[in-house]
Amino acid sequence: MSNRKKIIYGLIILVNISPYLYSFYDFEKVHFNIDNMIGFYPIYGFISCLGLIIIAKMFAVFFKKEDTYYDD
Amino acid sequence: MMINVLSHPAVPLVLGSLLIFLIRSKSNLLSFISLTLSIIVLLFIMPHENAFYIEKGIQINYFAYSKLSFLFCLVFLIIGIIGKIFSIYRDSYKEKAMILLYIASAIFVIFSGDFITLYIFWEIMAITSTFIIWSSNSDDSSAAGQRYLIMHLFGGLILLLGIIGLYLNTNDLQIRMLSLDNWYTWSILIGLLLNAGAPPFSQWLPDAYPEGSYSSTVFLSAYTTKTSVFVLISTFAGNHILIAIGIYMIIYGIIYALLENDIRRILSYSIVNQVGFMIVGIGIGTELSINGTAAHAFAHILYKGLLLMSAGSVLYMINKRKCTDVGGLYKVMPITAICGIIGALAISAFPLTSGFISKSMIVDASYREGLEFVWLMLLVGSAGVFLHAGIKFPWFVFFHNDKKIKTEDPPFFMKTAMIIMSFLCIIIGIIPESLYTLLPYKIDFIPYTGNHIISQLHLLLFSGLAFFVSLKYLERTLTITLDFDWFYRNKIKYIYAITNFMSRISSNLMKMIVLNNIKNRFNVLESYLMKQFTISTMLTLILITFSIVLLFNIS
């Protein structure tokens, strides 16, 4: 099994465990209304990272150049 | 009052660097002696009061003690001494001397109580760090060092302008809280922020730092930006504009690091990102957020040093600096890989590491102030840090495609330095009180609550999931990403072309209008004279003129 597969399987297990972590989570001490929601942190973390990657890819369309761009 | 000059912690470093320079010593003994002396002075000899003298009506406050400056000085010396252990195999005496002088000038800045002392050592810091970049002796480093120096001298001039304005308007140069209602306070703020790597000039940092030698980048990463953070804490804490600037830096660092291929440049972008967190902390300006900023600076210097050490070890052993050239190194460099991963976990604020106990203070400070948008952006930042530094760096360097590179772990002292740093990162994470007692304000904050740990773990794990889901789109390519520096890099040929064009036009015009005209007139005059007078008449005319002048003078 390649490294990548091992890590992906590991992550799938973690994703499945993560809801049980909520037994340690105190909903009395939440900050704003938004993190009162179950699954706020996982969903927010996942979506914001995908968003960052998409923004980076959009940047790449315009600003990515060969790494010899400045040497002439 | 005055204090004994030997009780300033920077003085042993200055003496040590002068001695190294004079005797061209290639051994590391002098560096270690002066750094140890400096730590002894800091811990036992240094007075806990202010010292100043008055020169021409200006109070020169050359030594101002505070708990915050003690904290920064301590971490500066810790990274100095561990970085020296790491760079023990490097034998350039110029680099050794300049590093000591660089550390000394940074310490002078954080102990300065007035803007004149601050400005002088600010500039010395810029110059010594340029020499450190140049000491790696490559063409790239020479060009990058020049750009770095120009940028910092420019920032220094803006700062100086602000200081002059401050003196002319208030007649007081003490470092104190300034309000942003004048041109000169804005000028000071811009000068300070430029050193912190703020937009739009963030590019100098990832441009210059990776060009240093394998060991000197460890030192470069620690001092310039953090002195700037220190001065911002004592001048502009609580200005909400800093929150916006900090959030910009956080996102900027992540996006550019995601697109970057050079290993140490990825880590440099993440310096911008981490300093962004500190700037947000300064902008919030409550006691908790200032504590968080100071703690984060302390933790950041250590884990960033560790990350750059493991990247430096890769560079030292196989002389490769791009993600596309390395991969699968965990088999041949296990200690480097483990230390690098500890550093990566610490920077992503994983529980039980130093980043967790410091960054959560800044994040908590934002919600205690009720700044919901800032809090949400800081969460994006926390997830993004894991994305670009926490996983991307170790994954592409130590795992990913195995390139079957034959090498081994770096020599003994480099390993030792990395292991000490890893221990520090973990000890601070496990015993947060060790760092919390050093913080400037009294602290009522418990990092290890169920909510903190669960929310942070959730954020990080799902950020990791996002990384592996989109791994196909994050494959490294041999590219760079353009930045604001496009406006001034390699523009000399255009400037040359423009000046050429302008000079051609102007010379043509000159010829057409002025020169030809004058030339014609002169020709006319000449030919007229030549036709009308023989030489003898001309001589007589001249003699007559002379005699008239003489006559007038005699009378």
Side-chain-side CA neighbours of B208 within 13 Å: the count stands at 31
pLDDT of residue B52: 78
Asked if residue B375 belongs to a domain, the reply is yes
Cβ distance of A50 and B455 shorter than 8 Å: no
Asked if residue A46 belongs to a domain, the reply is yes
In the numeric block, which tokens belong to residue B72?
């920064």
Based on the fold, state whether residues B468 and B376 are members of the same structural domain: yes
Measured between CA atoms, how close is B457 to chain A, in angstroms? 9
Cβ distance of A15 and B462 shorter than 8 Å: yes
Contacts B488 to A, Cβ<8 Å:
none
| Rounded percentage of chain A residues whose pLDDT exceeds 70 | 82
pLDDT of residue A3: 66
Measured between CA atoms, how close is B485 to chain A, in angstroms? 11
**What average pLDDT does the segment A43-66 reach?**
87
- DSSP class of residue B331 equals T
First-to-last CA distance in chain B?
71
By the 10 Å C-beta count (0-12 exposed, 13-18 middle, 19+ buried), B531 is classed as exposed
CA torsion sign, B408 to B412 to B418 to B420? positive
Based on the fold, state whether residues B115 and B52 are members of the same structural domain: yes
Asked if residue B488 belongs to a domain, the reply is no
Asked if residue A53 belongs to a domain, the reply is yes
Q: How many CB pairs under 8 A join A and B?
A: 139
**What average pLDDT does the segment B367-387 reach?**
90
Asked if residue B484 belongs to a domain, the reply is no
Check if the beta carbon of residue B403 is closer than 8 Å to that of residue B326: yes
Asked if residue B325 belongs to a domain, the reply is yes
pLDDT tens track for B284-310:
999 999 999 999 999 999 999 999 999
Based on the fold, state whether residues B205 and B245 are members of the same structural domain: no
Check if the beta carbon of residue B168 is closer than 8 Å to that of residue B183: no
Cβ distance of A53 and B473 shorter than 8 Å: yes
Q: Which of the listed residues B206, B230, B254 is the one where a domain comes to its end?
A: B230
In the numeric block, which tokens belong to residue B399?
């795992």
pLDDT band at A66 (very low <50, low <70, confident <90, very high): confident
Closest partner residue to B255 (CB to CB) among A29, A32, A52 is A52
**Sequence-separated (6 or more) residues with CB below 8 Å from residue B507:** none
Nearest residue in B to A29, CA atom: B451
Contacts A3 to B, Cβ<8 Å:
399-400
By the 10 Å C-beta count (0-12 exposed, 13-18 middle, 19+ buried), B316 is classed as buried
- The complex scores an ipTM of 0.84
Phi/psi zone of residue B490: left (φ > 0), alpha (ψ -120 to 50 degrees), beta? left
Based on the fold, state whether residues B210 and B250 are members of the same structural domain: no
Work out the widest C-alpha separation in chain A, in whole angstroms: 62
Which of B402 and B74 is assigned the larger pLDDT? Answer: B74
pLDDT of residue B554: 63
Based on the fold, state whether residues B284 and B309 are members of the same structural domain: yes
Based on the fold, state whether residues B96 and B169 are members of the same structural domain: yes
Cβ distance of B399 and A8 shorter than 8 Å: no
**What average pLDDT does the segment B425-449 reach?**
90
pLDDT of residue B530: 64
Asked if residue A70 belongs to a domain, the reply is no
Cβ distance of B451 and A60 shorter than 8 Å: no
Asked if residue B72 belongs to a domain, the reply is yes
**What average pLDDT does the segment B228-245 reach?**
93
pLDDT of residue A61: 84
Asked if residue A17 belongs to a domain, the reply is yes
Based on the fold, state whether residues B431 and B527 are members of the same structural domain: no
Q: Is residue B156 scored above 90 in pLDDT?
A: yes
Q: Is residue B171 scored above 80 in pLDDT?
A: yes
Asked if residue A14 belongs to a domain, the reply is yes
Q: Which of the listed residues B196, B230, B264 is the one where a domain comes to its end?
A: B230
pLDDT band at B451 (very low <50, low <70, confident <90, very high): confident
Asked if residue A41 belongs to a domain, the reply is yes
Asked if residue B485 belongs to a domain, the reply is no
Measured between CA atoms, how close is A15 to chain B, in angstroms? 8
CA dist B487 and B306 (Å) reads 34
Based on the fold, state whether residues B356 and B272 are members of the same structural domain: yes
Please state the domain count of chain B. 3
Nearest residue in B to A7, CA atom: B468
By the 10 Å C-beta count (0-12 exposed, 13-18 middle, 19+ buried), B460 is classed as buried
**What average pLDDT does the segment B444-458 reach?**
86
pLDDT tens track for B477-516:
777 777 777 777 776 677 778 878 888 887 777 677 766 6
Based on the fold, state whether residues B225 and B254 are members of the same structural domain: no
Based on the fold, state whether residues B298 and B431 are members of the same structural domain: yes
Based on the fold, state whether residues B39 and B106 are members of the same structural domain: yes
The parent domain of residue A17 ranges over 3-63
Measured between CA atoms, how close is A20 to chain B, in angstroms? 10
Which of B16 and A64 is assigned the larger pLDDT? Answer: B16
Please state the domain count of chain A. 1
Asked if residue A37 belongs to a domain, the reply is yes
Kindly list the residues of chain A whose beta carbon comes within 8 Å of any beta carbon in chain B. 3-4, 7-8, 11, 14-15, 18, 21-22, 24-26, 29-32, 34-35, 41-46, 48-53, 55-57, 59-60, 63-67, 69-70, 72
Helix (H, G, I), strand (E, B) or coil at B542: helix
Based on the fold, state whether residues B243 and B324 are members of the same structural domain: yes
pLDDT of residue B535: 67
pLDDT of residue B467: 87
pLDDT of residue B508: 78
Q: Which of the listed residues B208, B230, B252 is the one where a domain comes to its end?
A: B230
pLDDT of residue B342: 95
In the numeric block, which tokens belong to residue B412?
């003994």
Element (H, E) at B479: strand B479-481
pLDDT band at B267 (very low <50, low <70, confident <90, very high): very high
Q: Is residue B51 scored above 90 in pLDDT?
A: no
Cβ distance of A45 and B481 shorter than 8 Å: no
CA dist B78 and B219 (Å) reads 11
Asked if residue A71 belongs to a domain, the reply is no
Nearest residue in A to B489, CA atom: A70
The parent domain of residue B528 ranges over 502-554
What average pLDDT does the structure give for chain B?
88
pLDDT band at B26 (very low <50, low <70, confident <90, very high): confident
In the numeric block, which tokens belong to residue B87?
């760079």
Exposed e or buried b per residue across B169-197, where buried means at least 16 C-beta atoms within 10 angstroms of its C-beta:
eeeebebeebeeeeebbbbbbbbbbbbbb
Closest CA to B343 of B284, B303, B294: B303
